[in-house]
Amino acid sequence: MTTIHKLINHMIQLQELIMADMQKKVSMPKVRLEALEKSIAALSAQLPPQVKTNFARLVQKHPEAIVPIYGENCAGCGMHLTKSLVIAVQKGEQLSRCPNCARFLYLPESQVQRERTSRKWGEVRKVGIERFTSPELMIPALSGTTADEVLAELCGRMADEGFVNDGAHLLRMAQQREAIISTGVDNGLAFPHVRGVEGGGLTMALGIHRKGIKFGGPGRTLSRVFFFMVIPTATSAFYLKLLSGLANTFREKDARELLVSAQTEEDLWKALIKTTKKTIK
């Protein structure tokens, strides 16, 4: 592995920790994650001075300072890149940046791509939570007894319904994200997700586990309500707003119980629409 590839991997790792910190602050604003913050500081200190300065400046503007190339486009801003720039990123002999948004660029080894979005062509434009999910992505009775089994069910539903082209790869990415720090939060909620799923909009599956499972959340809390999202790079900022809206909505016991008591996919869909009508615009 070249020095540049090692630096790119280092930046990606740092960015994942920064995003994890942002997500935790949104979903659990009263909890301070000192260990995570120390890891961010340590990785940041190891960057070359100029890269560190540019990276920090970019993070102040966008949730992501380093983004993949999708096709021949910057996944961050969507700008079409010249062939010479794409080739330069492929060679990895020096750091390359998007001429439009200035983010650092890298070429991922493999990608999960979107096959469809939650809204079909020709449908009336939807509002609220309906923009990000569909009735067929409701799972009112998750059966897995471990975190990996539940993630497999959620990823499998995404693939079975044609929202992504590789459920197994999606699962590996979800497991890698959970290994950084659990997405389980208070009140039995969990927000597992995969970022960088390009080719469409942010899409969410909702799964309910009636008994609850250990998902690595705070204390001994069992997770029962799972909001699983696949997030294109360009929607990372909006994802944080959606996450905040969901976390605020389902801190309320009555709202959670409406989801947990749903017996069918249709019931769960109606409960989700009802509970988020005022909070997810």
274: left (phi over 0), alpha (psi -120 to 50) or beta: alpha
Q: Identify the pLDDT of residue 121.
A: 44
Q: Say yes or no: 143 and 218 in one domain.
A: yes
Tell me what pLDDT residue 115 has: 60
Please tell me the least confidently modeled range out of 59-63, 168-172, 203-207: 59-63
CATH code of the domain in which 187 resides: 3.40.930.10
Residues 271 and 141 in one domain: yes
The tokens for 85 are: 């720039």
Say which range, 109-123, 155-169, 173-187, 202-216, has the weakest mean pLDDT.
109-123
Number of domains composing the chain: 2
Q: Are residues 44 and 156 in the same domain?
A: no
90-127 pLDDT, tens digit each:
999 999 999 999 999 999 876 676 666 655 544 555 78
Q: Are residues 27 and 86 in the same domain?
A: yes
Q: Which domain holds residue 269?
A: 128-276
Domain-embedded: residue 196? yes
pLDDT given at position 266: 97
Contacts of 229 (CB under 8 A, 6+ apart): 132, 191, 192, 193, 194, 202, 203, 204, 205, 239, 242
Q: Are residues 271 and 133 in the same domain?
A: yes
The reported pLDDT for the residue numbered 97 is 97
Which token pair is 150? Answer: 């539940």
Among candidate residues 49, 96, 37, the one with its CA nearest the CA of residue 69: 96
Nearest-CA neighbor of 173 among 188, 158, 189? 158
Q: What is the pLDDT of residues 52-90, one digit of tens each?
A: 999 999 999 988 999 999 989 999 999 999 999 999 999
Tell me whether residue 212 is in a domain: yes
pLDDT given for residue 1 in this prediction: 64
**pLDDT digits 0-9 by tens, 17-34:** 999 999 988 998 777 778
Six-digit token string for 199: 């080719």
pLDDT at 9 (0 to 100):
94
Query: Is 264 within 8 Å of 190 (Cβ atoms)?
Result: no
pTM for this entry: 0.90
Tell me, yes or no, whether 101 and 189 share the same domain. no
Alpha helices in 82-232 (DSSP H): 83-91, 147-160, 167-180
Average pLDDT on 133-155 reads 97
Closest of 85, 83, 115, 112 to residue 98, by C-alpha: 85
Contact indicator for 138, 259 with CB cutoff of 8 Å: no
Say which DSSP state 192 is in: -
Q: What percent of the chain lies above the pLDDT cut of 70?
A: 94
Which stretches does DSSP call E strand in 168-253? 189-190, 193-195, 203-213, 223-231
Percentage of the chain beyond pLDDT 90 is: 77
Residues 247, 134 share a domain: yes
What does the alpha-carbon distance between residue 31 and residue 12 come to, in Å, rounded to a whole number?
A: 25
Measuring CA to CA, which residue among 13, 96, 22 is closest to residue 47? 13
Both 159 and 251 in a single domain? Answer: yes
- Are 153 and 222 within one domain? yes
pLDDT at 246: 97
- Region 188-207: what's the mean pLDDT? 92
Residue 111 confidence (pLDDT): 66
236-241-245 Cα angle (round to 5): 140
81 shares its domain with 25: yes
What pLDDT does residue 230 have? 94
Digit-coded pLDDT (tens) for 39-49: 999 999 999 99
